[in-house]
Amino acid sequence: MIEGQSITAISTEIKSQKLKSEDVVKFYFDKIKKYNKDLNAIVSLRDETEVISEAREKDQLIKNKHHTGLLYGLPLAIKDTVDVKGMPTSFGCMEYKNNFPAEDSIITERLKKQGAIIIGKTNTAELAYGSQTTNRLFGSTYNPYNTSKTAGGSSGGAAAAVSSGMLPLADGSDMMGSVRNPAAYCNLYGFRPTPGLISEKRVEPSNIECPLLSTLGGIAKTPDDLSLFLDSVAGRDSRDSFSFDLNAKFLETSMSEDEFKKIKIGWLGNLNNNYSFENGIIELCESSLNILMSNPFNISIEEVKTNLFSRDIWDIWITIRSKISYDDIKMMKDINLDDLCLAAKWEYDQGIKISDEEFVQKIDGINRYRSVVNQLFEKYDFLAMPSAQVFPFDANISFPKKIGSHSLSTYHKWMETTIIASLFELPTLSVPVGFNNSGLPMGMQIIGKKAYDLKVMSFGKKYESIFNHSNVKPDGFN
């Protein structure tokens, strides 16, 4: 029986020969055939017969006592911004629809080494810009909780596929909430690790003081499933000078009841009225926090008043992001600037105007504010704030133009709530907080100190054991 089992349990049963990888692959392909036409989450799908043949080979290797990995025999699809040899990496862009990489990315290598079977790609926002998964090559991805709404982005294909049961778990990437936002929109856990924990072949930044804004991450129904994924892909690699190892495994790390009760959380809320939120978001987050504050948990949670979150932070963010984006777009082959999607064109047009001097000034600004962040973590174990500023919106809208009566000045201003973790390279887990009156999901960021990834995930495990959000599945799916 596969339905209802945790991914860890399925993996264990494959390796103990109680389950066949072939049967697991067929189970997920049946889900894909049933649901993907409504969600458009998985693209570039491999031939089912070919994948089943690979699964049978893995079953035979187990019989022959072949070494197995953490994800042995599990079918996975990779975000369509990450290289898989033999499959196109299109970025959702027409110009790259025939872009077949010569080799696997590091994360793909590691997933395969742990026994995963790569069956396809998950849909992305075009060139991964924006938190709405839509592009001109494959179209939009839809939310399993309401198929007229967006699944978020840019890793929306991954989130919709996991939430609907078409994939056991998924990778993603996150610069400005591209893992955290779709996880929140699909009632999932999404982890943005400290940059460097998941190695990648990256272009070295022109300024060594510049933070690594973007990182690979993961999306799953539970923190335990995320731990399985992270133990499969995390760790140092000589091809990534920023990569590092942790001193323990995610699967082996937990938080005792006594440790949990001693946790102190700083609630950032609307950041001293600096951020606008759609009605109901703050209330859902605070409802979850109130439960944690009450018996029998009695966690210490208090509202944070700080000078960290001025408009200066937003100016720093858009300057550095646009300059990095401009440099990235310049390096892209076969891209006509006139054909760029609107979000990428906006970043390019902003970035071309930014001088090296201004760029350095903004990096200096990050360093000034870093001491404020460090002071907060002297007082709190975690910071908490909503994962998005609006609920899932209509899938035919490129991005929200307003929050209530407050007009938004850019295509990504509604995701401003995610930039603190990104600017200061903080490990962050988006946890579900429930649904509004229309049945639309929302999430909350649990932000930890840099390189304290294990502690963040340990908290997430306790959180899920209390709330059991993974049990609330979308109607008509799963």
Q: What average pLDDT does the chain have?
A: 95
| Known catalytic residue at 438 | no
Sheet containing strand 428-435, edge to edge, reads: 170-174, 215-220, 189-192, 428-435, 441-447, 382-386, 264-267, 300-303
Query: In this structure, is the dihedral angle defined by the CA atoms of residues 328, 334, 337 and 341, taken in order, positive or negative?
Result: negative
As given in the structure block, the two tokens for residue 114 are: 């742990």
Residue 334: pLDDT band (50, 70, 90) is: confident
Higher pLDDT, 89 or 204: 89
Tell whether the model's pLDDT for residue 129 goes beyond 90. Answer: yes
Spatial separation of the C-alpha atoms in residues 182 and 29, rounded to whole Å: 22
pLDDT of residue 83: 98
Q: HEC string of 454-475?
A: HHHHHHHHHHHHHHCHHHCCCC
Residue 273: pLDDT band (50, 70, 90) is: confident
Residue 478: pLDDT band (50, 70, 90) is: confident
Tell whether the model's pLDDT for residue 463 goes beyond 90. Answer: yes
CA 103 remoteness from chain centre: 24
Listed in sequence order, the residues at least 6 apart from 205 whose beta carbon sits closer than 8 Å to its beta carbon are 212, 324
Higher pLDDT, 139 or 311: 139
Tell whether the model's pLDDT for residue 272 goes beyond 90. Answer: no
pLDDT of residue 274: 87
Residue in 11, 131, 154, 199 annotated catalytic: 154
Q: Parallel, antiparallel, or unpaired for β 300-303 and 142-143?
A: unpaired
Delimit the domains of the chain by residue range. 7-471
Tell whether the model's pLDDT for residue 296 goes beyond 80. Answer: yes
153 near 183, Cβ under 8 Å? no
Tell whether the model's pLDDT for residue 309 goes beyond 90. Answer: no
418 near 205, Cβ under 8 Å? no
Listed in sequence order, the residues at least 6 apart from 375 whose beta carbon sits closer than 8 Å to its beta carbon are none
Average pLDDT value for residue range 344-363: 95
CA 51 remoteness from chain centre: 26
Residue 100: pLDDT band (50, 70, 90) is: very high
The burial class, CB within 10 Å (0-12 / 13-18 / 19+), for 280 is: middle
Spatial separation of the C-alpha atoms in residues 199 and 111, rounded to whole Å: 12
Tell whether the model's pLDDT for residue 461 goes beyond 70. Answer: yes
Half-sphere exposure of 119 (CA within 13 A, CB side): 31
254 near 217, Cβ under 8 Å? no
| Known catalytic residue at 155 | no
| Known catalytic residue at 178 | yes
pLDDT of residue 77: 99
Tell whether the model's pLDDT for residue 310 goes beyond 80. Answer: no
pLDDT of residue 160: 99
Listed in sequence order, the residues at least 6 apart from 285 whose beta carbon sits closer than 8 Å to its beta carbon are 267, 269, 384, 385, 386, 433, 442, 444
Spatial separation of the C-alpha atoms in residues 246 and 236, rounded to whole Å: 9
Q: What is the pLDDT of residues 179-222, one digit of tens each?
A: 999 999 999 999 999 999 999 998 766 666 788 999 999 999 99
Q: What is the pLDDT of residues 142-176, one digit of tens each?
A: 999 999 999 999 999 999 999 999 999 999 999 99
DSSP for residue 381:
S
The burial class, CB within 10 Å (0-12 / 13-18 / 19+), for 274 is: middle
In this prediction, what percent of the chain has a pLDDT beyond 70?
98
Residue in 31, 79, 121, 462 annotated catalytic: 79
Average pLDDT value for residue range 107-136: 98
Residue in 178, 214, 243, 430 annotated catalytic: 178
Model's pTM, two decimal places? 0.97
Residue 333: pLDDT band (50, 70, 90) is: confident
**Nearest CA-CA partner of 140 in 83, 221, 154:** 154
As given in the structure block, the two tokens for residue 122 are: 């998950």
Q: Is 3.90.1300.10 the CATH classification of the domain at 7-471? A: yes
Residue 16: pLDDT band (50, 70, 90) is: very high
